[in-house]
Structure 1
Amino acid sequence: MARITNLSDNNGTGTVSLPKDELEMCDLLNESGLPDSDVQLMVMMEAPGEWRVSVLDDSDVDDSWYTGETPDTGVNVNNGNSTSR
């Protein structure tokens, strides 16, 4: 079942909430019932206005995610440097 939520502002960044019962079902909460902050999520825009959220396991994340190199998963990562033509 689709859930309708509002886009919230968090210090100038748009934030969407995920339902806690679904996070629990996916084992993404810690022992205290709070979201596990060690979990890495990848949010990719599939089309304008449509995003896909995926949970990455430790084998998907390495230092290249933070250095701007292309990780082994093949996902393009931009380090913030760009050139214009």
Structure 2
Amino acid sequence: MDTDYKSRTQKKNEDKALQSLGEQLVTLSSGQLLTMGLPDELLSAIELVRKIKSHSARRRQIQYIGVLMRQIDPQEIETSLNRIRSGGIRK
């Protein structure tokens, strides 16, 4: 039996967790984001979501950020977020 099998619900929950992490990134300043070493495409998507006023368009952009974050180790981002929240990085 395949040990890498993930149920559809498990995949959805992981996607929601990445979207939530992406929403937290949107609240950070540009300087803080640059210190995290995120890919340029993800940084561009985060900057774009800040400009969007429409609720549904913003939601779609957050989903897109979640898709981009599948390619990145979320543990590194969470570690950086915790360091920023504890006062390690300001801007």
TM-score normalised by the shorter chain: which range applies?
Answer: under 0.3
TM-score by length of 2: 0.26
Report which of the two structures shows the higher radius of gyration computed on alpha carbons. 1
> Which structure shows the bigger proportion of residues in helix conformation?
2
> Which structure shows the bigger proportion of residues in strand conformation?
1
Which structure would you say has the larger RCO, counting Cα contacts within 8 Å and 6 or more residues apart? 2
TM-score by length of 1: 0.27
